[in-house]
Structure 1
Amino acid sequence: MKNLSYKITVVFLSILLSSISLSCDDYLEKPPGVDVTEDTIFSSPVQVDYFVAGTYFMGVKSDFPYWNDHDRSDIGWGAATDEAEITQGWYWCQAPWNAGGMSPSNTGDLRFTTHWKAIRRANTIIERIDNAPFDDPAFKRRVKGEGYCIRALNYFELLRKYGGVPILRERVDIGGNLKIPRSTVKEVVQFILDDCKEAISLLPKPNELSTSERGRLTNLAAMCLKARTLLYAASPTFNTAKPYLNFGANNDLIILGDYDKERWKEAADAAKDVLDEAARTGVKLVKNKKDDATGEDISYLYIWDQPDNEEVILADQCRGKVGTGHFPWNGQIPSVVGGSGGGLCMTFNFVMKYETKNGTPQTWNMDGGDDLMAKYEELDPRFRQTATYHGRPWNTTDNLSMDLSETGNDKCITGQYMHKPVPLAVSRRDNVRVEPKGCIFRLAEFYLSYAEALNEYYDVPPEEAYDAVDEIRGRVGMPKLPRNLSQSEFRERVRNERAIELCMEGHRLYDTRRWEICEQDGVMRGNMYGIKIYKIDGSKECRYEPYVFEVRTFTKKMYRHPFSTGEMDKGYLIQNPGY
Structure 2
Amino acid sequence: MKNSKNYIWMALFACLFMACEEVKFGDEFLAKPPSGDVTIDTVYSNIVYAEQALWNTYATLPYRINRNWNAKGNVMGMDIMESITDLVQSHLAWGGAAKYYGGQYDAGSENSGTWTKYHFTQEDSWTGIRKAYLFIENIDGVPDVSEDYIRRLKAEAKLIIAIHYSDMFRHYGGLPWIDSSVSPSDDFNKQRLTAKETLDNIIDLIDEAIADLPWELESNDNWEGRMHRAGAMGLKARMLLFGASPLFNDDVPYLAGDASSQKMTWFGEKDPQLWVEARDAAKALIDELQLRGVYSMVNTGNPRQDFQDGYYKRGLHEVLIPVHAGYKTGDYWSQNYYFYQSAGGYGTNCWTQNYVDMFPMKNGGAIYDANGNPANGYDPNDPYKDRDPRLYETILTNGDEYLGRTAEIWIGGRERKNVTSKGRITGYGARKFWLDGDASTSVKSITHWPYLRLPEIYLSYAEAINEIEGGPTAEAYEYVNKVRSRVGVGVLEEGLNQQEFREALLRERACEFGLEEVRWFDLIRWKREQDFTKTLHGMDIKSGDGAGGQLTYNVTDQPERFWKKEWSPKWYLSAFPPDEVNKDYGLVQNRLVNKISNLKINENES
Instruction: Verify same fold: TM over 0.5.
Output: yes
1:147 is paired with a residue whose SS is helix
Q: Which amino acid is 1:357 matched to? A: K
2:383 is paired with a residue whose SS is helix
Whether contact under 8 Å (1:163, 1:254) holds in the other structure is yes
In 1, Cα distance between equivalents of 2:373 and 2:474: 40
Question: 1:38: which partner in 2?
Answer: 40
CA apart distance, 1:246: 1.2
In 2, Cα distance between equivalents of 1:350 and 1:11: 42
Question: 2:113: which partner in 1?
Answer: none
CA apart distance, 1:251: 4.2
| 1:156-202 superposed Cα distances (whole Å, 9 cap, x missing partner) | 11111000010011112125222311000111011001100110011
Whether contact under 8 Å (1:287, 1:475) holds in the other structure is yes
| 1:207-256 superposed Cα distances (whole Å, 9 cap, x missing partner) | 54443111100011111111111001100101123111112573410001
Stretch of structure 1 that moved more, 299-308 or 454-463: 299-308
Change in 2 beyond 3 A, CA 1:328/1:275: farther
Question: 1:125: which partner in 2?
Answer: 135
| 1:65-120 superposed Cα distances (whole Å, 9 cap, x missing partner) | 2323554423331112111133312112331x333333222232444221111111
- Please say if 1:493 is aligned against 2:500: no
- Please say if 1:360 is aligned against 2:368: no
1:390 is paired with a residue whose SS is coil
Whether contact under 8 Å (1:217, 1:314) holds in the other structure is yes
Q: Which amino acid is 1:121 matched to? A: K
In 2, Cα distance between equivalents of 1:458 and 1:397: 49
| 1:486-534 superposed Cα distances (whole Å, 9 cap, x missing partner) | 11111111111111111111111111011110x21xx333422111110
In 2, Cα distance between equivalents of 1:11 and 1:252: 44
In 1, Cα distance between equivalents of 2:272 and 2:441: 55
- Output aligned runs, 1:105-116, within 5 Å: 105-107=108-110, 108-113=116-121, 114-116=124-126
Q: Which amino acid is 2:248 matched to? A: F
Question: 2:397: which partner in 1?
Answer: 389
In the alignment, which of 561, 571, 575 is matched to residue 584 of structure 2?
571
Question: 2:85: which partner in 1?
Answer: 81
Stretch of structure 1 that moved more, 281-290 or 177-186: 281-290
- Please say if 1:100 is aligned against 2:103: yes
- Please say if 1:318 is aligned against 2:320: no
Q: Which amino acid is 1:534 matched to? A: K
In the alignment, which of 277, 284, 298 is matched to residue 296 of structure 2?
284
2:89 is paired with a residue whose SS is strand
Whether contact under 8 Å (1:404, 1:532) holds in the other structure is no
Stretch of structure 1 that moved more, 400-409 or 488-497: 400-409
Stretch of structure 1 that moved more, 391-400 or 228-237: 391-400
Change in 2 beyond 3 A, CA 1:513/1:446: same
CA apart distance, 1:536: 4.1
CA apart distance, 1:11: 6.2
Whether contact under 8 Å (1:332, 1:342) holds in the other structure is no
- Please say if 1:414 is aligned against 2:421: no
CA apart distance, 1:430: 9.8
In 2, Cα distance between equivalents of 1:149 and 1:395: 41
Stretch of structure 1 that moved more, 202-211 or 230-239: 202-211
In 1, Cα distance between equivalents of 2:224 and 2:135: 21
Change in 2 beyond 3 A, CA 1:359/1:6: closer
In 2, Cα distance between equivalents of 1:221 and 1:190: 18
The answer for unaligned runs of 5 or more in structure 1 is 19-32, 291-295
RMSD over aligned Cα atoms: 2.9
- Output aligned runs, 1:215-226, within 5 Å: 215-226=225-236
Question: 1:22: which partner in 2?
Answer: none
| 1:522-577 superposed Cα distances (whole Å, 9 cap, x missing partner) | x3334221111102439664212112122122421111100002101212211113
Whether contact under 8 Å (2:217, 2:223) holds in the other structure is no
In the alignment, which of 544, 548, 571 is matched to residue 557 of structure 2?
548
- Output aligned runs, 1:153-164, within 5 Å: 153-164=163-174
Whether contact under 8 Å (1:530, 1:548) holds in the other structure is yes
CA apart distance, 1:436: 3.5
Stretch of structure 1 that moved more, 477-486 or 319-328: 319-328
Change in 2 beyond 3 A, CA 1:472/1:548: same
In 2, Cα distance between equivalents of 1:277 and 1:121: 31
1:145 is paired with a residue whose SS is helix
In 2, Cα distance between equivalents of 1:100 and 1:393: 39
- Please say if 1:211 is aligned against 2:221: yes
- Output aligned runs, 1:261-300, within 5 Å: 261-279=272-290, 280-290=292-302, 297-300=304-307
Fraction of identical pairs, as percent:
29
Question: 2:24: which partner in 1?
Answer: 5
- Please say if 1:255 is aligned against 2:257: no
Whether contact under 8 Å (1:371, 1:543) holds in the other structure is no
In 2, Cα distance between equivalents of 1:119 and 1:482: 45
Whether contact under 8 Å (1:43, 1:132) holds in the other structure is yes
- Please say if 1:559 is aligned against 2:568: no
Change in 2 beyond 3 A, CA 1:184/1:112: same
In 1, Cα distance between equivalents of 2:392 and 2:373: 24
Question: 1:165: which partner in 2?
Answer: 175
Q: Which amino acid is 1:545 matched to? A: N
In 2, Cα distance between equivalents of 1:490 and 1:396: 39
Stretch of structure 1 that moved more, 151-160 or 358-367: 358-367
- Please say if 1:460 is aligned against 2:471: yes
2:560 is paired with a residue whose SS is strand
CA apart distance, 1:5: 3.5
Whether contact under 8 Å (2:450, 2:516) holds in the other structure is yes
Q: Which amino acid is 2:451 matched to? A: I
In 2, Cα distance between equivalents of 1:71 and 1:156: 19
1:252 is paired with a residue whose SS is coil
Q: Which amino acid is 2:253 matched to? A: P
CA apart distance, 1:327: 6.4
| 1:36-66 superposed Cα distances (whole Å, 9 cap, x missing partner) | 11112211111112111111111x2242223
Q: Which amino acid is 1:233 matched to? A: G
1:206 is paired with a residue whose SS is coil
Number of aligned residue pairs = 546
CA apart distance, 1:477: 1.8
- Please say if 1:513 is aligned against 2:536: no
In 1, Cα distance between equivalents of 2:133 and 2:213: 17
Whether contact under 8 Å (1:283, 1:310) holds in the other structure is yes
Question: 1:65: which partner in 2?
Answer: 66
In 1, Cα distance between equivalents of 2:73 and 2:243: 27
In 1, Cα distance between equivalents of 2:151 and 2:429: 46
Q: Which amino acid is 1:102 matched to? A: Y
Question: 2:602: which partner in 1?
Answer: none
In 2, Cα distance between equivalents of 1:64 and 1:328: 11
In 2, Cα distance between equivalents of 1:81 and 1:505: 12
| 1:390-421 superposed Cα distances (whole Å, 9 cap, x missing partner) | 23344545733332588545311210113112
CA apart distance, 1:360: 2.6
Change in 2 beyond 3 A, CA 1:163/1:309: same
Change in 2 beyond 3 A, CA 1:466/1:127: same
In 2, Cα distance between equivalents of 1:492 and 1:558: 22
In 1, Cα distance between equivalents of 2:191 and 2:39: 30
Q: Which amino acid is 1:258 matched to? A: E
Q: Which amino acid is 2:589 matched to? A: Q
CA apart distance, 1:298: 2.9
Whether contact under 8 Å (2:65, 2:73) holds in the other structure is no
Change in 2 beyond 3 A, CA 1:333/1:416: farther
- Please say if 1:433 is aligned against 2:444: yes
